[in-house]
Structure 1
Amino acid sequence: MRQATTILSLRTEGPGLVEVTQGVADWIAETGIGEGLLTALCRHTSASLMINENAAPAVKRDMVRWLDAMAPQGSHYEHDDEGPDDMPAHLKSALTGANLSVPVAGGRMLLGTWQGLYLVEHRTRPHTREVALHLIGE
């Protein structure tokens, strides 16, 4: 059994889904691990990870609009230390999650045909985000 870890660093430009599928796939190939389990962790409380459709760009736009409707900005939050998007970003992160597990076989993630891995930025200003990757297998 072998293990590998790395940190992906990504620059975001505000709210939206940033696809990381290819970067993760490239790293898996570099590890030489063919069969195993990938774990990904977003190292932030105001961004998150998700698996979603990567074919239709409208999915990403609709997802951002839906998250905004579920956790809108406003003065009704007590926590606003970093501005009006602070608490809504934490709520959106709680809704979408901070980690993912993906099986790996033949040196590739076993994602469905239309699935991609995304970092979801919930803050309004640009950020540098980190995703920790861990792969265990043979």
Structure 2
Amino acid sequence: MSDALRTTVLNITTGSAETVTDLTRDCADFLTRVADGRDGLLNVFVPHATAGVAVLETGAGSDHDLLAALHDLLPADDRWRHRHGSPGHGRDHVLPAIVPPHATLPVLGGSLELGTWQSVCLVDTNVDNPDRKVRLSFLG
């Protein structure tokens, strides 16, 4: 593997409830290990059909607001054609069309370049699968 591309996989347990999990510290720690002060790009990718990556404010209620908005847009009921798993699980398979499974973010001087209130988050509405992988890749 080239020194220009470094990658790792995080194993995240989201539990049995819909969650927004802040990954910002994990991203910063990864960049501390691999970026060596360089500029580049951090790609965050969730290799799951029922989870996504969002950049948003956390801790002030926005994470709960996002889950509420997703519940309004994608109700957990029997309208979905995709019908395995818990009731309404088909909505989880539509989630990545709204909250994409990836984000590419700027890295300047080895540090993630986020706005003051921005955090990198795993969004998981699938209560049937509590074990998630998140791939972090730095290109610089």
TM-score of the pair, normalised by structure 1: 0.92
**Counterpart position of 2:25:** 22
| CA–CA separation in structure 2 for the residues paired with 1:123 and 1:55 | 21
**Residue 125 (structure 1) shift:** 4.1
TM-score of the pair, normalised by structure 2: 0.91
Aligned CA-pair RMSD: 1.4
| CA–CA separation in structure 2 for the residues paired with 1:72 and 1:55 | 24
| CA–CA separation in structure 2 for the residues paired with 1:135 and 1:11 | 23
Structure 1 residues not aligned, in runs of 5+: none
Percent of counterpart pairs with the same letter? Answer: 26
**Counterpart position of 1:101:** 104
**Residue 32 (structure 1) shift:** 3.5
Partner secondary structure for residue 117 of structure 1: strand
Partner secondary structure for residue 90 of structure 1: helix
Instruction: Tell me which protein shows more strand as a share of its residues.
Output: 1
Partner secondary structure for residue 49 of structure 1: strand
Structure 2 residues not aligned, in runs of 5+: none
Partner secondary structure for residue 89 of structure 1: helix
**Counterpart position of 1:3:** 5
User: Is residue 2:48 matched to residue 1:44?
Assistant: yes
State which of 87, 91, 104 in structure 2 corresponds to 1:88.
91
Structure 1 residues 32 and 78: alpha-carbon distance in aligned structure 2, compared to 1, 3 A threshold: closer
Q: Which moved more, 1:91-100 or 1:113-122?
A: 91-100
Q: Which moved more, 1:1-10 or 1:98-107?
A: 1-10
Task: Number of aligned residue pairs: give it.
Answer: 136
User: Is residue 2:69 matched to residue 1:71?
Assistant: no
Partner secondary structure for residue 18 of structure 1: strand
- Give the letter aligned to residue 28 of structure 1: L
The superposition leaves residues 6-46 of structure 1 with CA deviations (integer Å, 9 ceiling, x where unpaired) of: 11110002202000000111011001432111111111011
